[in-house]
Structure 1
Amino acid sequence: MSWLNRVRNAIPFIAKKSDAPDNLWQKCPGCGQMVFTKEWQENLSVCPHCDHHGRIGPKDRFAQIFDAGTCRALPVPQVKEDPLKFRDSKRYTDRIKTARAQTGEQDALLNAHGTIEGHSAVVGVQDFAFMGGSMGMAVGAAFVQGVQEAIARRCPYIIFTAAGGARMQEGILSLMQMPRATVAIQMLHDAGQPYIVVLTDPTTGGVTASYAMLGDVQISEPNALIGFAGQRVIESTIREKLPQGFQRAEYLLDHGMLDMVVERKALRQTLARLIDYLTAAQAA
């Protein structure tokens, strides 16, 4: 033990290093400011300095959106986990195990049923922390499950998207989830139920090319990255310089690809109002 540590431990009013929590502060990815973790959490994981909306998982999202005590998680659909026996630098099954250990979830999309200011709804949330929210067979099955539950309960299906695209370890099977989700959305429309999309940072790839852009109402959180391919890939393909921030939510709103950009603190109220509007005709 060094002299400094011996002196520190001998003085009673100085907290020992081992007693001090290591998670008191959190660095904002947007502005770089240090924020008290408690303040960050109380502000719904939004930076109080720059309004950067941090990425959150399904549990936090459900807690923020549903009325207290009404959230009921749906069972995770079971699919074949490694249909192609894929291996790169690691086995695909090992990557899944690692993601499950890190997030505590079975896969990248979870569904739950509850009420939003008294309005019944089924909500699906993609977790970017689970292998980049990538769309594989499990995500496709969960999306269909959410739609079917909404049809059975005669209520809207709301999806919070966050994805890096299709899951390469499942090849063509992951790409087939795009038309599969599209057919499920048509089933929801045939049943007369609304489909609302909330795009969060980031939503890219095959998810953007399918169910993320097929909502009756398209909402986004502020400054969310939304696109199909990356900016450098597009610029090298078309050999043109693209506008700054052209894949951010505010740019897409200005150019007609979104209906609204809503801050996280106002999302619950906005969704409740939309459900009220979209289901008024059914009630009548």
Structure 2
Amino acid sequence: MNWISNYVRPKINSLFSRREVPENLWTKCPECGTMLFHRELAENLNVCSNCQHHMPMTPRERFATLFDGGIYTEVEVPAPVADPLQFRDQKKYPDRMKAAQKATGEKEAMLVAEGEIGRTPIVAACQDFSFMAGSMGMYVGNAIIAAAERAVKLKRPLILFSAAGGARMQEGILSLMQMPRTTVAVEMLREAGLPYIVVLTHPTTGGVTASYAMLGDIHIAEPNALICFAGPRVIEQTIREKLPEGFQRAEYLLDHGMLDRVIARAQMRGELITIVRMLMGLTPVVAGDLPPPADVASLADQRATAATGEPAEIDETS
């Protein structure tokens, strides 16, 4: 046996030719622990293929899978006062905002857009839980008002995807004032005779649940989404009793009349098209004639490339 040619040289070659595998190519399901490849997870709309756990989606990911061809136009939202209370806890409020903007690549916790789903024009708003837990501040209030005004102007229905930990503490009473402001915005839609559909995703809690998230004409939730004002742990500690299994989860709320439907993410777009056209008095569409959404797997590759600076694909033959 030639030790140099059979062992040392292949070992050296493998060291120099080895490709680094980006860490963001795999995601561990928080529910069952299964390791999921990023392309397969994206193709399954961020739903675990093993246990069907619905993982978070950013507003841009959700809009790409909602609108025809993933094509939409952002609606401009007026910017509020940056730091009205000069709030500071462990960090200054502006510093927290900068950190959230850097981590998410977004200006704030809600994105508003207009486009078509199933050739049906709509306006959509979506909260980003990764941006300071999707907390409801003045910007979110402005975003909902902008979405409602745009929907009324264009005579389109409004679809809102909620995901929030509640009001934003750094804005104090100004954050709580968004509850009546958004209620007035919803009333604008009602007076115009336009549908307002809310899709509650995990988690939707606090002042968001106590205002615009529960004022829709139709309430839909994703499977096992936590939907509540005060969380189950707080309630258990207050009343000193064990809560029922699945308390405040989407299926429990459906059984008790708080929701109209619980729909898996893969069927959400089709259901929304059907509901919107029905509420707008339009004729049903033929399923095979609908334009498809964006290629979500390619979006996952773009995110992986942007994060690492290298192509996301792995050459399995190397």
The TM-score bracket by the shorter chain reads over 0.9
Root-mean-square deviation over aligned CA pairs: 1.9
Q: Deviations for 1:78-122, whole angstroms, at most 9, x for unmatched residues? A: 110110000001000000000000001110011000001011100
Q: Deviations for 1:21-41, whole angstroms, at most 9, x for unmatched residues? A: 323321011111111111111
Do the aligned partners of 1:9 and 1:16 also contact (CA within 8 Å) in 2? no
TM alignment of 1:57-136, pairs within 5 A: 57-68=58-69, 70-136=71-137
2:201, 2:16 → 1: CA distance?
40
2:259, 2:161 → 1: CA distance?
14
2:275 maps to a residue whose letter is L
Match of 2:190 in 1: 189
Match of 2:305 in 1: none
1:142 maps to a residue whose letter is A
TM-superposed CA distance for 1:274, in Å, is: 0.5
Say whether 1:207 aligns with 2:208.
yes
TM-superposed CA distance for 1:242, in Å, is: 1.2
Say whether 1:272 aligns with 2:279.
no
Q: Quick one: percent identity of the two aligned structures?
A: 57
CA separation of 1:122 and 1:244: change in aligned 2, threshold 3 A: same
Stretch of structure 1 that moved more, 85-94 or 10-19: 10-19
Q: Which aligned runs of 4 or more in structure 1 are off by greater than 3 angstroms?
A: 6-18
TM-superposed CA distance for 1:74, in Å, is: 1.2
Match of 1:3 in 2: none
SS of residue matched to 2:124: strand
Say whether 1:50 aligns with 2:41.
no
CA separation of 1:84 and 1:8: change in aligned 2, threshold 3 A: farther
The TM-score with structure 1 as length reference comes to 0.93
Which is greater in Rg?
2
SS of residue matched to 1:68: helix
1:154, 1:9 → 2: CA distance?
68
TM-superposed CA distance for 1:172, in Å, is: 0.5
The TM-score with structure 2 as length reference comes to 0.83
Match of 1:251 in 2: 252
TM alignment of 1:167-182, pairs within 5 A: 167-182=168-183
Do the aligned partners of 1:8 and 1:14 also contact (CA within 8 Å) in 2? no
CA separation of 1:116 and 1:130: change in aligned 2, threshold 3 A: same
Do the aligned partners of 1:197 and 1:218 also contact (CA within 8 Å) in 2? yes
SS of residue matched to 2:193: coil
TM-superposed CA distance for 1:15, in Å, is: 7.7
Do the aligned partners of 2:126 and 2:160 also contact (CA within 8 Å) in 1? yes
SS of residue matched to 1:206: helix
Do the aligned partners of 1:252 and 1:258 also contact (CA within 8 Å) in 2? yes
2:98 maps to a residue whose letter is K
Match of 2:41 in 1: 40
Do the aligned partners of 1:128 and 1:163 also contact (CA within 8 Å) in 2? yes
SS of residue matched to 1:224: coil
CA separation of 1:9 and 1:200: change in aligned 2, threshold 3 A: farther
Unaligned runs of 5+ residues in structure 1 are 1-5
TM alignment of 1:22-33, pairs within 5 A: 22-33=23-34
Unaligned runs of 5+ residues in structure 2 are 1-6, 284-318
SS of residue matched to 1:50: coil
SS of residue matched to 2:112: strand
Aligned length: 277
